[in-house]
Amino acid sequence: MQDSKLNILDRLTLPTPRFFRKIRSVPVAVGAVGAILVAAPALLPAALVSLGGYLVLAGSIGAAVSSAAVTPGEQVQQAQERKELMGGSSAESL
């Protein structure tokens, strides 16, 4: 039986399910608000600027996690077929 675990490169290159594509817009918006707060440090109190940094961090992590979601089953088969076609995953060839 073949190993059915996906590495991070496989997860990022396989298509993201529709639900997680919709969810991904929320952390991107949170990160954008944080970037706005960080970009204007002279006009805002220091607490808001540091809050902006945390919002950027939370938004980027949330977007990365929702981008790495894949549908189980058929996408594992796609990744295995791609590995066989290319002679291994891209991480193995590095």
- Confidence (pTM): 0.68
Task: Please give the helix or strand (H or E) that residue 46 lies within, else none.
Answer: helix 46-67
Question: Hey, what are 20's tokens?
Answer: 């997680």
Average pLDDT of adjacent 10-residue blocks, the chain of 94 residues:
66 83 92 93 89 95 89 70 66 49
**CA–CA separation, 3 and 83 (whole Å):** 12
**CA–CA separation, 69 and 86 (whole Å):** 23
- Write down the pLDDT at residue 81: 74
